[in-house]
Structure 1
Amino acid sequence: MQSATLAVLTLGLTHFAFASTAQENPVAIPETDPYVLFDLRDNFVWNLTHYQILDPDETMVETLITEADQGQMVFDMVLRDTVPPYCELRFDPTICDDRGSPVNWFSDLPQTICMDIPANVSFNHAKQLKGAKFLCLEPREKLFLPESWQSQQTGAQTYLSQRIEPGAVTVRDDIATIDILVLDAINTPLATLSPEGYGDAKIGMTEDQVRTAMVEPMTSTREGSENNACYHLQSAGGPTGLGFMMLDEKLARVSVYADEYDIATSLIRTGHNIQVGDTIDDVLAAYGDNLIDEEHEYEGPDGRYLTWWENDAKTSGIRFETGPDGTVTAMHAGTGSITLLESCY
């Protein structure tokens, strides 16, 4: 199993997810709450007693142990909707009568999450860890999404944001355990951005079709006459930096704009695993020599447009905008409209 991609951020921002109208019990989160993110989209999720993350991020484990029994923190996860068949995940596949069938992570993902403890963390917290080699997070109640929200999840990926209260570290044998109390949570479906669209929302769809594909309620910038040639749709439940441009009554492009207040926006990836915040070098490595490199209209020579066309006719592709610091600030996917500098113009 590959190593999980793990990240820890300490944000001086109000966590966006809990301002959403989709939350059942909204509670304000102090701006100083520590924040941990598990991005498990590139890993198998095991349908066994424990899910063990190999080679975890040292800072993440350090944060979890440091914040144990210290009050509230934000504990977020990014997952794929469906995990592989049971039999493919057994240590000994011969114990299965057949290949099994795909299962949904809502009902089958194990509730205990375990990881190795890096050597430096063991040294820094020697008295607290007492020689433990593994750290397990054990929920006092169901760790993941409440059943009432399961119907909202339709995409291949999901971003689950939870506010938790971790208990003290307890050690038995070589396992350190932290009990987790989930105080509230919210789910934001995610999808892959491509020249064909965003998840089930495909280029060429009508507004009604896009709304149906996105499931969540959507807001529109259309004002006045119903004959407006160009307008935008946005999912009311987020991600906030995600927008859908309707041109001549059809979905023409999907855009992702960097939003420092919205973690979900920063997690949207293209089919080549590029997301806002990545560097020009990252884009070049992912899309190769076929990129068209042009100076940004408003950022000067240090800002660039990097455009990748899926066909020679240049009717389908992805454009990346980068700022003066060389990082991606926006991504546009769809028809030739991706080259419009001011969205509809």
Structure 2
Amino acid sequence: MAWRLLPLALFASLSLTPAAAKAPVLTADGWGALRVGMPEAEAVRRFHLRTEQADDEECHVLFSQNEHLMVMTSDGKVGSITILGRPDVLTDRGLHVGSREADVRRAYGEALTIEPNAYDDPPAHYLTWWARKGERGIMYETDAKGRVSDIHAGDATIGWTDGCG
């Protein structure tokens, strides 16, 4: 009986592609092939980003075509990656836009820095975890309902909540 199932199982395993098997996760160092520290020109070319804010020559805010991905560059290099409104993108801790603040707190424990969100009503917060203090981290923005609204990953620019300004 088991031999009859073998061809079906073999067919199913061959039909999976590596891309379908595992989606990239957001870490303090990047998201898939989009890496913190990569040259801005390469990020623009490879990921079809457009400049939204270029107040000076040293800092730019770039967006994907669907505006669910924001990239902040500083001195010609990717500094941070922000996921906006995409619950399908997971962090390396399994969190996503829409996760509860309590889940973020549980995932990081006392290593989390908690500050009030400057642009949303209390009890909205910035929840920041540093993989390497001030060099690489992830910041979760929560809204007044206690849900993650945006996730920022990268260098110190994750804390630049006003963009380049």
**TM-score (structure 1 length as normaliser):** 0.41
Residues 116-137 of structure 1: per-residue CA shift (max 9 Å, x gap): xxxxxxxxxxxxxxxxxxxxxx
- Map of 1:86-101 to 2, 5 A cutoff? none
- 1:201 and 1:307 mapped to 2: Cα distance? 21
With a CA cutoff of 8 Å and minimum separation of 6, indicate the structure with the bigger relative contact order: 2
Residues 24-69 of structure 1: per-residue CA shift (max 9 Å, x gap): xxxxxxxxxxxxxxxxxxxxxxx9627xxxxxxxxxxxxxxxxxxx
The equivalent of 1:257 in structure 2 is 84
- 1:202 and 1:314 mapped to 2: Cα distance? 17
- Map of 1:74-113 to 2, 5 A cutoff? 105-106=16-17
Give the conservation status (yes or no) of the 8 Å contact 2:72–2:157. Answer: no
Give the conservation status (yes or no) of the 8 Å contact 2:54–2:61. Answer: no
- 1:220 and 1:156 mapped to 2: Cα distance? 30
The equivalent of 1:326 in structure 2 is 146
Distance 1:339 1:211, change over 3 A: same
- 1:233 and 1:154 mapped to 2: Cα distance? 27
2:41 is equivalent to residue 208 of structure 1: yes
Between the aligned residues of both structures, percent identity stands at: 26
- 1:305 and 1:317 mapped to 2: Cα distance? 12
2:157 is equivalent to residue 337 of structure 1: yes
Give the 4+ runs in structure 1 shifted more than 6 A: none
Rg larger for:
1
Question: Shift in Å at residue 251 of structure 1?
Answer: 0.3
The equivalent of 2:63 in structure 1 is 234
Q: In structure 2, what residue type is equivalent to 1:299? A: D
Query: SS of 2:164's equivalent?
Result: coil
Give the conservation status (yes or no) of the 8 Å contact 1:155–1:199. Answer: no
The equivalent of 2:116 in structure 1 is 295
The equivalent of 1:220 in structure 2 is 51
**Count of residue pairs brought into register by the alignment:** 158
Q: In structure 1, what residue type is equivalent to 2:134? A: K
Structure 2, unpaired ranges of 5+: 1-5
The equivalent of 1:266 in structure 2 is 87
2:107 is equivalent to residue 280 of structure 1: no
- 1:335 and 1:222 mapped to 2: Cα distance? 19
Query: SS of 1:288's equivalent?
Result: helix
Residues 80-130 of structure 1: per-residue CA shift (max 9 Å, x gap): xxxxxx6xx7xxxxxxxxxxxxx5625x9xxxxxxxxxxxxxxxxxxxxxx
The equivalent of 2:3 in structure 1 is none
- 1:279 and 1:204 mapped to 2: Cα distance? 30
- 2:54 and 2:106 mapped to 1: Cα distance? 41
Question: Shift in Å at residue 222 of structure 1?
Answer: 5.4
- Map of 1:38-53 to 2, 5 A cutoff? 49=8
Structure 1, unpaired ranges of 5+: 1-46, 51-85, 90-102, 109-152, 158-190, 259-264
**TM-score (structure 2 length as normaliser):** 0.82
Q: In structure 2, what residue type is equivalent to 1:229? A: E
